[in-house]
Amino acid sequence: MGQSYPAFRFSRARALIRGVRRWATAAGALALTGGLLAAGPQASAAGLTQVTGFGTNPGNLSMYTYAPDALPAGAPLVVALHGCTQSANDYYAHSGWPKFADTYGFALVLPQTSSANNANSCFNWFEPGDSGRGQGEALSIKQMVDKAVALYGGDTRRVYITGLSAGGAMTANMLAAYPDVFAGGAIGSGLPARCANSVSTAYTCMYSPPDKSPAQWGESVRSAAPAGTSSWPRVAIWQGTADTTVRPANATELRDQWTNVWGIGQTPSRTESLGGGTTLSVYDDASGRSAVEVYTVSGMGHGLAVDPGSGTEQCGSAGTYYLDTICSSYHTARFWGLDGDEDADSPHTDTGLDTGTTYSYAAAAVDTTAAAGSASPAVAATTTGFAPTCHTAGNYAHTAAGRAYQSGGYAYAKGSGEAMGLWNTFTSPTLRQTAPGHYVIVDAGCPN
């Protein structure tokens, strides 16, 4: 096996970038290498605008939009889905998303359902005819995206979707059905994609979600997506620990679902303590970039996390199902890179580094003549590295060693969920560990 060298990536190095911005104060246009300087706040528009004629609208939904004045072409687009008993205007007024549309420069689409569709004005996330690709409400939302992109000249590579409760469950289904449309999603007090297919199973999912394996949950997404899909949205999951309407176990199943879709394990790459009693668990993809994030809000009931106030990290207003804890819209916008730091999550790689070694990095702003300004304070980064290993053994032995798990008499590779055949001593596949807790089958032997 060839030697594997660690690589340091500027993953989520926002503290460094913010430091660099303090040095980028000279007159004239400045740009940080990699395009990391964010645009300033946009002028605020008047409010929500209803848009008609956005398509065949098989789901019988209404379309509302919000965009800052003078929104530039190529701006991102965020679709925000309200919860039961709510409306587009209610979500617009409380969620905090308009503040960040103004600050970071993107357009909002707020679909709205009604009691004509659902007695409680819920999106019908549990109805296959409304939540699958090319059908019902799901298709109406997709048509709204197409209309908004045409109206605002948006960047089709930066379309995102978020929602609360029934809107969060519909968000999960939209991410599964349209991974080619959405670059990321955020599921607030929601449920796994395709958890239910009727009213009765919807209540089961809400109060006692099925305890499926990550591979089974992941397959629910893969089977809903277009055949051959290999690129998946980045997903944030928000859940209160005191939620009695959508039980916190749903967040665990959501984590299992989307980490499996990404082919990564269920052990966090790192955890952080945020304000409002919130713990963030981050699950990186193979390149070291955050793919799935779980925000657990201690003591919060059923609702969307908001934090009223004028501070940079504050947003929204408290109300029914809008709970004063932490500004979820702010952290979600940053996760998606809408704050202008999306390149901080993009590859900036040093290769050939030694394991367990500390390196120092600094950045500088560059003006339009390529003249560099003063360098920022250095940031220290210590490599850990990971050398892939191969293991050939019977499925019993793989399972006993923690490289696989068994379900229904069959063995599956831990992390990837790949089927290994019958759980017995006669089947002896080769597994390659590509990351901590993540194994894939290499039938042709272990590559060098």
Instruction: Map residue 161 onto helix, strand or coil.
Output: strand
Q: What does the DSSP assignment read for 56-99? A: --TT--EEEEE--TTPPTT--EEEEE--TT--HHHHHHHSSHHH
- The pLDDT score that the predictor gives to residue 428 is 86
From CA 165, how far away is CA 89, in angstroms rounded?
16
List pLDDT tens digits, range 391-440.
999 998 888 898 988 877 888 888 777 788 888 878 888 988 876 777 88
Which domains can be identified in the chain, with CATH numbers?
8-33+347-382 (no CATH), 49-339 (3.40.50.1820), 389-441 (no CATH)
Of the two residues 180 and 445, the one the predictor is more confident about is 180
Q: Report the C-alpha dihedral over residues 127, 144, 315, 34, rounded to 10 degrees.
A: 120
- The pLDDT score that the predictor gives to residue 20 is 32
Can 189 be counted among the known catalytic residues?
Answer: no
Among 95, 165, 281, 376, which one carries the catalytic annotation? 165
pLDDT over 90 (residue 142): yes
- The pLDDT score that the predictor gives to residue 95 is 98
Q: What does the DSSP assignment read for 419-446? A: EEEESSSS---EEEEEETTEEEE-TT--
Span 238-244, mean pLDDT? 97
List pLDDT tens digits, range 157-209.
999 999 999 999 999 999 999 999 999 999 999 999 999 999 999 999 999 99
pLDDT over 50 (residue 14): no
From CA 92, how far away is CA 100, in angstroms rounded?
12
- The pLDDT score that the predictor gives to residue 355 is 59
Local confidence band at 17 (pLDDT 50, 70, 90 cut-offs): very low
Span 83-107, mean pLDDT? 97
